[in-house]
Chains A and B, each alone.
Chain A
């Protein structure tokens, strides 16, 4: 069932510099129980989107539906959603206990019920030992769990999360992510999670949405979005290092790069979608190329040792590509490497619109 649905949502801001329109006709729906991650570059409307769903902002055009009902005119307190802010927004003048209990107190629930619920949630998030501390005395990770506890205690079945891991240390983040995934599995709540961190997005999401240029560029299973991006922008945005994209022409069953000596067989999936002489934008991910073997060769112009792997920038007759190289193997500038690109790794995009020729629905 479409639990959260946005139809043609627009939002414009007037700033001192002029007006900005981060959302231009967003269409988006989330099924019950999904953990949907909205991924996109910073400052491009992800938080705006979340705020509109929560009711903190009003959209200029379009409609928002929660649980099948139109909620455009419903204030945040009546939408029965919970939200975790990037800054956690835990009231500094209340103890952890009071912070978590606050939403329930506002609903005038009986004291025992409040107490039971608070302790239940605190136990779930392993913060039952700090219930009487003040936020100023907590670590970042603890504060984040308090924020999540506040969101859970309401019992709302839609939780909105605005980059809740952004302020955590890298190692803490990994644990927090796993905990969140486990929590989602246990509780089955619908979560809409916003971030600009790809790794987070890919590891958490049951469904992935990419927001850019005011619209949802791609939406679906994370692996699908990764392997078969809907357009060339998504292709270049996802993946680290990003996909190699180049202009090419279809010639004699091959995709031939316009610049440089790069020639790959037309992939099976695309064979019926291309015609001879057609101009395309082609792409493959660095990790899909096999280095050390194959017909193609190029000269190494840069070596980036990241630790777990090495990225080499290779020049193939005027075309610059990024490839992955086994971690500690010796390689340096000026070396010549051979590599091959399996045709199954290739994606083809329309040269004018950027849309993937496979055009996933």
Chain B
């Protein structure tokens, strides 16, 4: 009957129309702040006051903000361009965290997988439960403790960042190493390596995906932290990380002395886009790791 069919078509059209409207609105809202900040970074907007709607329409694209970001000395006491220095610090910190996370996670994962340990299950449970506290929850206690041990510096930060990633990665490593037949290590031990040598030269190589994932997670976790970094080294602008630098550039540290807003925008874009890319890569790696492990189990 035509009316029923017409009714069905009308319903379908309505459904799709609503769907598209919702999607378009949501997509626009999702993109809004990012578009906003990217456009600002290519403009010459100095403060929020002067950020008018016209600034968001790309009439004059200028790289001035980026230039200033990379060469500026906003804090005069720092002799070199500030922002690159802060980024360098972040990279150092994140890199060290990545390294330590890999070492701890692989060692623990190997032990859980291959070696006979006393009270293995209870120890593992204990470790897993303990790290349910997010890093920010332990920041205050950690600060108090590290203050006593003179660890309120980069070394302390690396120590603070590492276990969070390492514990999670250790279990992933265990599952991954479970899937590698022990024959290879045994052959290596006959070939002339000690067990530790076989672990480093053979197992690492064969568990490369997990190693890479752990390194990436450790790197990202450390790089993107603000809270712990501010607590530990916030007072020393010479030692700031990129995130602390961005906080400063956003004017939240000290509104009066904040530099131009487009410089902040440039910083946000310069840091945000690569970090976003790395984050998406890590997510891809994780789903791949889970699906390959689920396949085996």
Contacts and interface: CB of A to CB of B under 8 A. Distances in A.
Interface of A: 51, 54-56, 75-77, 81-83, 85-87, 89-93, 102-103, 106-107, 150, 154
B278 interface: no
A77 to B, nearest CB: 5
Given A91-B202, A93-B205, A93-B206, A76 B184 contact: no
Contacts of A55: 189
B190 interface: yes
Interface residues of B, number: 15
Contacts of A154: 191
A103 B192 contact: yes
B184 A91 contact: yes
- Chain A CB count within 10 A is highest, among B181, B187, B194, for B187
B190 A54 contact: yes
Given A85-B186, A89-B186, A93-B205, A77 B181 contact: no
5 contacts: A55-B189, A76-B186, A77-B193, A83-B186, A103-B192
| Nearest 4 Cβ contacts at the A-B interface | A89-B187, A106-B192, A89-B183, A103-B191
A87 B181 contact: yes
A75 B194 contact: yes
Contacts of A92: 206
Given A55-B189, A93-B206, A106-B193, 13 more contacts: A51-B186, A54-B190, A75-B195, A77-B190, A77-B194, A83-B186, A85-B186, A87-B181, A91-B187, A91-B205, A92-B206, A93-B205, A150-B187
A83 B187 contact: yes
Given A89-B183, A93-B206, A83 B194 contact: no
Contact of B191 (A51, A56, A77, A87): A77
Interface of B: 181, 183-184, 186-187, 189-195, 202, 205-206
Given A87-B183, A89-B183, A81 B191 contact: no
A32 B85 CA distance: 68
A52 B194 CA distance: 16
B191 A102 contact: yes
Contacts of B194: 75, 77
Contacts of B190: 54, 56, 76-77, 81-83
A56 B198 CA distance: 13
Contacts of A93: 205-206
Given A75-B194, A77-B194, A89 B189 contact: no
Nearest to B195: A75
Contacts of A75: 189, 194-195
Nearest to A162: B183
A54 B191 CA distance: 11
A89 B184 contact: yes
A53 to B, nearest CB: 11
A85 B183 contact: yes
A76 B195 CA distance: 9
Contacts of A51: 186
A85 B206 CA distance: 18
Nearest to B191: A103
Contact of A150 (B181, B186, B189, B191): B191
Given A91-B202, A93-B206, A77 B186 contact: no
B184 A56 contact: no
Contacts of B195: 75
B218 to A, nearest CB: 24
B211 to A, nearest CB: 13
A155 B10 CA distance: 83
A56 B192 contact: no
Given A93-B205, A93-B206, A85 B187 contact: yes
Contacts of A54: 186, 190
A243 to B, nearest CB: 36
A81 B190 CA distance: 7
A85 B195 CA distance: 17
B183 A76 contact: no
A84 to B, nearest CB: 9
Given A93-B205, A93-B206, A76 B189 contact: yes
A119 to B, nearest CB: 19
A86 B183 CA distance: 9
A81 B189 CA distance: 11
Contacts of A90: 187
Contacts of A81: 190
B186 A56 contact: yes
- Chain A CB count within 10 A is highest, among B192, B194, B195, B205, for B192
Contacts of B191: 77, 102-103, 106, 150, 154
Contacts of A150: 187, 191
A283 B193 CA distance: 51
